[in-house]
Chain A
Amino acid sequence: MKIDIILSGVGGQGIVSIAATIGMAAIAENLNLKQSEVHGMSQRGGAVQSNLRISDKEILSDLIPNGQADLILSVEPMESLRYLPYLSEDGWLVTNTTPFVNIPNYPDIEEIMNEIRAIPNHVAIDADKMAKETGSPRSSNMVMLGAASPYINLPLKRFEEGIRKIFERKGEDVVSANLKALYAGREFAQENK
Chain B
Amino acid sequence: MSKLLLLGDEAIAQGGLDAGISGIYAYPGTPSTEIMEYVQMSKMAEERNVFRNWSVNEKTAMEAALGMSYAGKRSMVCMKHVGLNVAADPFMNAAITGVNGGMVVVVADDPSMHSSQNEQDSRFYGKFALVPVLEPANQQEAYDMAFRGFDLSEKYGVPVMLRLTTRLAHSRSGVERVKAREENKLKLPEDPRQFVLLPVIARKRYKLLLSNQESFETESDKSDFNRYIPGDDKSVGFIVCGLAWNYLMENFNERPLRNPVLKLCQYPLPRKMVEQIANDCDELIVIEDGYPLVEESLKGFLERGIKVRGRLDGTLPRDGELNPDHVARAVGLEVKSGKNIPPVVTNRPPAMCKGCSHIDMYNALLEALEKYGKGRVFSDIGCYTLGALEPFNAINSCVDMGASITMAKGAADAGLFPSVAVIGDSTYTHSGITGLLDCVNDRSPVTVIISDNLTTGMTGGQQSSATGRITEICKGVGVEPDHVRVINPLKKHHEENREIIKEELEYRGVSVIIAQRECIQTVMRKKKDNKSKQ
Contacts and interface: CB of A to CB of B under 8 A. Distances in A.
A33 interface: yes
Contacts of B31: 39-40
Contact of B5 (A23, A43, A102, A105): A23
A154 B442 CA distance: 68
Interface in B106-130: 114-115
B5 A37 contact: no
B336 A65 contact: yes
A185 interface: no
B352 A44 contact: yes
Given A41-B115, A84-B342, A115-B344, A61 B335 contact: no
A84 B391 contact: no
B201 interface: no
A153 interface: no
Nearest to B335: A66
B69 to A, nearest CB: 29
A140 B344 CA distance: 25
B335 A103 contact: no
Contact of A44 (B328, B339, B350): B350
B348 A10 contact: yes
A65 B250 contact: yes
A31 B323 CA distance: 23
A34 B172 contact: yes
B246 A46 contact: no
B5 A85 contact: no
A69 to B, nearest CB: 7
B34 A39 contact: yes
A35 interface: yes
B171 A35 contact: yes
Contacts of A103: 346-349, 351
* Residue from the set B243, B253, B328 with the largest chain A CB neighbour count within 10 Å: B253
Interface in B341-379: 341-342, 344-353
A12 B524 CA distance: 12
A14 interface: no
Interface string B301-339: 000000000000000000000011100100000011111
Contact of A66 (B168, B337, B390, B458): B337
Contacts of A57: 253
A103 B5 CA distance: 35
Given A27-B5, A32-B174, A59-B173, A105 B346 contact: yes
Interface in B374-392: 383, 386, 390-391
A35 B346 contact: no
A67 B333 CA distance: 14
B386 A63 contact: no
A23 B172 contact: yes
Interface string B87-117: 0000000000000000000000000001100
Contact of B172 (A37, A88, A91): A37
Interface string A38-52: 111111111100010
B33 interface: yes
A94 to B, nearest CB: 15
Interface residues of A, number: 57
A60 interface: yes
A173 interface: no
A92 interface: no
B170 interface: yes
B133 to A, nearest CB: 21
A41 B458 contact: yes
A114 B359 CA distance: 35
A191 interface: no
B81 to A, nearest CB: 13
B342 A43 contact: no
A62 interface: yes
Nearest to B321: A63
A104 B351 CA distance: 12
Given A65-B324, A103-B346, A84 B167 contact: no
Contacts of A59: 173
A43 B383 CA distance: 11
A169 interface: yes
A61 B322 CA distance: 11
Interface string B229-270: 000000000000001001101110100000000000000000
A38 B347 CA distance: 17
Nearest to B325: A66
B336 A67 contact: yes
B340 A45 contact: no
Contact of A81 (B246, B251, B345): B345
Contacts of B168: 62
Given A23-B5, A60-B249, A67 B173 contact: no
Contact of A63 (B323, B347, B350): B323
A65 B350 CA distance: 25
Given A34-B172, A63-B323, A87-B338, A104 B250 contact: no
28 contacts: A11-B350, A27-B174, A32-B173, A33-B172, A34-B171, A34-B173, A36-B171, A37-B171, A37-B172, A39-B460, A41-B458, A43-B460, A44-B352, A61-B324, A63-B167, A63-B247, A65-B250, A66-B335, A67-B338, A69-B338, A79-B348, A81-B341, A82-B345, A84-B339, A84-B342, A87-B338, A104-B390, A111-B344
Interface of B: 5, 7, 30-31, 33-34, 114-115, 167-168, 170-174, 243, 246-247, 249-251, 253, 323-325, 328, 335-342, 344-353, 383, 386, 390-391, 458-460, 532
Interface of A: 10-12, 23, 27, 32-47, 51, 57, 59-63, 65-69, 78-79, 81-82, 84-89, 91, 102-108, 111-112, 115, 119, 169-170
